[in-house]
Amino acid sequence: MNFFKFIISKTFWIQIVLAIIVTIILGFFVVKGLDSRTNHGETIEVPDLAKMQLDEVEERLAEIKLSHIVLDSANYNPDFPKYSVIEQTPDPGKHVKEGRKIYLKLNPAGFPKVEIPDVIRHTKRQVIPMLGSMGFEIGDITYKPDIAKDAVLELRVDGKKINPGDMIMKTTKIDIVLGDGEPK
Q: Which domains does the chain have, with CATH numbers?
A: 44-106 (3.30.10.20), 113-179 (3.30.10.20)
Beta bridge partners of 152: 178
Q: State residue 105 phi and psi, 5-degree precision.
A: -115, 135
Across all residues in the chain, what is the average pLDDT? 89
Q: How many residues does the chain have?
A: 184
pTM of the predicted structure, to 2 decimals: 0.57
Q: How confident is the model at residue 97 (pLDDT cuts 50, 70, 90)?
A: confident
Q: How confident is the model at residue 1 (pLDDT cuts 50, 70, 90)?
A: low
CA distances from 10 to 7, 18, 23, 152, 157 (A): 8, 12, 20, 102, 98
How far is 160 from 179, CA to CA, in rounded Å? 18
Would you say residue 80 has pLDDT above 90? no
